[in-house]
C-alpha cells in the first residue's frame, strides 16, 4: 500500500490534496512540513504532499527549502480549490465567538471576513484541522476554527459560516514529492 505524509491533522486541506492524488493510500499526518519531509527522507512513507502556494496568500512559508532539497523530486503538482468555514461547537454562535484559530496561510485568505468581525481575534495555529480538533477538545463556545468543511464532520463541529475566503476562486498548489 502507498504511504503518504502530509502536514496537518486529518481533515486538513493537505489531506484532501493527498487523497485527490492517492485515493487509497495510508496517510501519515505530520505536525509540520519538516516532519513530513523527514518521513519521506527516512522512507517511512513513499511520498509527501506539501502546499506550495495559494492564489490569495502567495508562497507557503516553510516549504521552499524542502522543495529545493536535492534529495526530493516533485513528481506531480496539483491545484485544490480552497473554501474556508468557521467551525465551532454546535452550542456556539457567531456573536459569542471571541477567538478564531487557523494556520497563518488560511487566516491570510480570510482577511475580509476577519475585518468584518473585529470582536473576534485571529490566532495562528499549526494547522487548520488541528485548530478544529483543538476547538472540539476544549469545548469552549467562544472559540472557533477556520478550516475545511470536512474538518467539521471529522471533529463533530458546526459550520457557523462558509466560503469566507476573500475570493471564490481561491486555490492552493500542492507538490507531491518523492525521493530521487
pLDDT tens, position by position, 36-47: 999 999 999 999
pLDDT at 88 over 90: yes
In the chain, the number of structural domains is 2
Query: Do 4 and 22 form a contact (C-beta atoms < 8 A)?
Result: yes
Distance CA 62, CA 159 (A): 29
Same domain, 98 and 60: no
Report field, pTM of the whole predicted structure over 0.75:
yes
Q: How confident is the model at residue 162 (pLDDT cuts 50, 70, 90)?
A: very high
Instruction: Tell me: do 12 and 68 sit in the same domain.
Output: yes
Cell of 140: 469552549
Query: Which of 31, 39, 20, 32 shows the shortest CA–CA distance to 60?
Result: 32
Mean pLDDT of 68-93: 97
| Domain around 98 | 85-162
- For residue 114, what is the domain's CATH number? 3.40.190.10
Q: What is the pLDDT of residue 62?
A: 87
For 54-80, how does the pLDDT look when each residue is reduced to its tens digit (9 = 90+)?
A: 999 999 988 989 999 999 999 999 999
Catalytic machinery residues = 172, 174
Residue found by looking up cell 490569495 in the block: 56
Percent of the chain with pLDDT over 90: 98
> Whose CA is closest to 8, among 177, 129, 100?
129
Question: Among 176, 115, 175, 120, which residue's Cα sits nearest to residue 144?
Answer: 120
Collapsed DSSP state (helix, strand, coil) of residue 98: coil
> pLDDT category, 31, cuts 50, 70, 90?
very high
Q: Give the pLDDT of residue 61.
A: 85
Q: Are residues 19 and 76 in the same domain?
A: yes
Mark whether 69 and 106 lie in a shared domain.
no
pLDDT value at residue 166: 98
Continuous segment of H or E residues that includes residue 59: strand 58-59
Hey, what's the cell of 55? 492564489
Residue 116 pLDDT greater than 90, yes or no: yes
Amino acid at each position: 500500500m502507498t504511504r503518504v505524509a502530509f502536514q496537518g491533522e486529518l481533515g486538513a486541506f493537505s489531506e484532501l490534496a493527498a487523497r485527490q492524488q492517492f485515493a487509497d493510500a495510508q496517510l501519515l499526518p505530520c505536525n509540520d512540513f519538516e516532519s513530513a519531509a523527514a518521513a519521506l527522507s527516512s522512507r517511512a512513507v513513499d511520498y509527501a504532499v506539501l502546499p506550495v502556494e495559494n492564489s490569495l496568500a502567495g508562497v507557503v512559508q516553510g516549504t521552499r527549502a524542502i522543495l529545493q532539497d536535492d534529495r526530493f523530486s516533485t513528481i506531480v503538482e496539483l491545484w485544490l480549490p480552497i473554501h474556508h468555514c468557521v467551525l465551532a461547537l454546535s452550542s456556539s454562535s457567531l456573536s459569542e465567538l471571541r477567538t478564531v484559530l487557523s494556520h497563518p496561510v488560511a487566516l491570510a485568505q480570510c482577511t475580509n471576513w476577519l475585518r468584518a468581525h473585529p470582536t473576534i481575534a485571529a490566532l495562528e495555529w499549526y494547522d487548520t484541522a488541528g485548530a478544529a480538533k483543538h476547538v472540539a477538545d476544549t469545548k469552549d463556545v467562544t472559540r472557533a476554527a477556520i478550516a475545511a468543511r470536512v474538518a467539521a464532520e471529522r471533529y463533530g463541529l458546526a459550520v457557523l459560516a462558509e466560503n469566507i475566503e476573500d475570493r471564490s476562486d481561491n486555490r492552493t498548489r500542492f507538490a507531491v514529492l518523492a525521493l530521487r
